[in-house]
């Protein structure tokens, strides 16, 4: 029964939490059903201060060290007594459809006996559509907050439009950069800096890191709105990690990214509506066989 599963999840039962996350991810249970059950149980809590954040997206190109940064944040925040969730959006396996990097082998925090009970890690497969991922992801974020976890970290895949969509789910967006990634203009062309509330230049122990950070600052100053902070860190050498974790806890929205965030959320909502339409498969068949025009398909989907 859903009621029993939610009670167990509220009590910290990790198997119950995992089962409910799977049910939400596969859309067998809706987040609204969960909210109603929690309200009936009298366990519904008020939302946090609007000036603070509940979820933070860590995004950036592949290889810049997102997983290492997430590992350090999980450790730092758990040491402060917080209960922290990592929802890691991974590429889907071409064979099983599951999360390709589901073992999360880079995360050392799970081996820390003192901290592991304060950390919950879940991989979320991108699966076959980009549109469904962000909103299933948002439902999973909402669920973990509803059952009492303090902070949610979203780690994105690190490539393409789906990455931007996933990042836009977060209350705050942190873009991870690294040296040898080109100049600030190239970083802007990647599209993610438009969303950034903060930029981390990881691998600060390598040559060129400070120069790249300075170029990013210059590039960001050309845009409208408040300039996001640019922080130099090295996850490998453990440099600047404590300062970074404190700065991110108090991170305010830059304001400059709000339009971009809502654009991506709007597009994702529209795409989800289309892909969940019961007529979608027959329409796709007609389009591929040439028996229907695109304009007619759009009309039928309305």
Average pLDDT over residues 135-149: 92
β-partners of residue 151 are: 84
> Is the residue at 239 inside a domain?
yes
Which residue, 190, 117, 188, is CA-closest to 156?
Answer: 190
- Asked which of 97-101, 125-129, 278-282 is least confident by mean pLDDT, the reply is 97-101
pLDDT at 155 over 80: yes
Report pLDDT for 99.
44
Alpha carbon separation from 72 to 29, 53, 57, 84, 107 (Å, rounded): 33, 19, 14, 12, 9
Domain of 106? 45-262
pLDDT tens-place string over residues 243-266: 999 999 999 988 766 777 788 888
Please indicate, yes or no, whether residues 147 and 170 belong to a single structural domain of this protein. yes
Please indicate, yes or no, whether residues 34 and 105 belong to a single structural domain of this protein. no
> Is the residue at 296 inside a domain?
no
For the whole model, what pTM was predicted? Answer: 0.85
Of 68-72, 121-125, 166-170, 219-223, the range with the highest mean pLDDT is 68-72
> Is the residue at 278 inside a domain?
no
* Number of domain units in the chain: 2
pLDDT tens-place string over residues 157-179: 765 566 677 777 899 999 998 88
Query: What are phi and psi for residue 28, nearest 5 degrees?
Result: -80, -25
Please indicate, yes or no, whether residues 107 and 222 belong to a single structural domain of this protein. yes
- Give the total residue count for the chain: 302
- DSSP annotation of 118: G
With a pLDDT cut of 90, the percent of the chain lying above it is 44
Do residues 32 and 18 lie in contact, with contact meaning Cβ atoms separated by under 8 Å?
no
Please indicate, yes or no, whether residues 56 and 33 belong to a single structural domain of this protein. no
Please indicate, yes or no, whether residues 166 and 250 belong to a single structural domain of this protein. yes
> Is the residue at 126 inside a domain?
yes
> Is the residue at 295 inside a domain?
no
CATH number (domain holding residue 191): 3.40.50.300
Please indicate, yes or no, whether residues 34 and 119 belong to a single structural domain of this protein. no
pLDDT at 146 over 70: yes
> Is the residue at 281 inside a domain?
no
Q: How many CA atoms lie within 13 A of 218 on its CB side?
A: 10
Please indicate, yes or no, whether residues 40 and 55 belong to a single structural domain of this protein. no
Sequence-separated contacts (24+) of 149-152 with Cβ below 8 Å: 149/83, 149/84, 149/85, 149/120, 150/77, 150/82, 150/83, 150/84, 151/54, 151/55, 151/56, 151/77, 151/82, 151/83, 151/84, 151/85, 152/54, 152/55, 152/56, 152/84, 152/85, 152/87
Average pLDDT over residues 170-196: 71
Please indicate, yes or no, whether residues 191 and 240 belong to a single structural domain of this protein. yes
CA 164 from chain centre, in angstroms, equals 9
> Is the residue at 280 inside a domain?
no
Cα separation, 174 vs 65, in Å, equals 13
- Give the pairing of strands 55-60 and 151-155: parallel
pLDDT tens-place string over residues 12-51: 999 999 999 999 988 899 999 999 999 888 876 655 555 7
Please indicate, yes or no, whether residues 31 and 58 belong to a single structural domain of this protein. no
Taking the CB of residue 133, how many other CB atoms lie within 10 A of it? 25
Cα separation, 195 vs 164, in Å, equals 8
Please indicate, yes or no, whether residues 52 and 19 belong to a single structural domain of this protein. no
Please indicate, yes or no, whether residues 66 and 187 belong to a single structural domain of this protein. yes
Please indicate, yes or no, whether residues 33 and 70 belong to a single structural domain of this protein. no
> Is the residue at 285 inside a domain?
no
């Amino acid at each position: 029964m859903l009621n029993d599963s939610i009670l167990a999840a509220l009590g910290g039962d990790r198997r119950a939490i995992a089962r409910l996350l799977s049910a939400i991810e596969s859309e067998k249970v809706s987040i609204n059903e969960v909210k109603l059950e929690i309200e009936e149980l009298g366990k519904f809590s008020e939302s946090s201060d609007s000036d603070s954040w509940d979820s933070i997206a860590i995004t950036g190109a592949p290889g810049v060290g997102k997983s290492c940064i997430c590992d350090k944040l999980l450790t730092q925040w758990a040491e402060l007594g917080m209960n922290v969730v990592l929802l890691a959006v991974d590429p889907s396996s071409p064979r099983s459809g599951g999360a390709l990097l589901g073992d999360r082998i880079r995360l050392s925090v799970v081996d820390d006996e003192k901290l592991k009970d304060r950390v919950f890690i879940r991989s979320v497969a991108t699966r076959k559509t980009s549109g469904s991922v962000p909103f299933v992801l948002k439902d999973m974020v909402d669920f973990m907050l509803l059952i009492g976890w303090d902070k949610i970290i979203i780690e994105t895949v690190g490539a393409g439009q789906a990455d931007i969509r996933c990042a836009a789910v977060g209350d705050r967006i942190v873009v991870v950069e690294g040296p040898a990634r080109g100049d600030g203009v190239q970083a802007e062309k990647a599209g993610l800096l438009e969303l950034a509330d903060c930029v981390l230049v990881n691998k600060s122990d390598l040559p060129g890191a400070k120069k790249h950070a300075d170029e990013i600052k210059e590039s960001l100053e050309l845009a409208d709105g408040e300039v996001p902070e640019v922080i130099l860190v090295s996850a490998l050498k453990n440099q600047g990690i404590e300062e970074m974790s404190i700065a991110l806890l108090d991170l305010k929205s830059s304001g400059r990214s709000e339009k971009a965030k809502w654009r991506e959320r709007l597009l994702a909502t529209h795409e989800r509506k289309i892909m969940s339409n019961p007529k979608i498969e027959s329409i796709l068949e007609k389009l591929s066989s040439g028996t229907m025009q695109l304009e007619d398909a759009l009309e039928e989907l309305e």
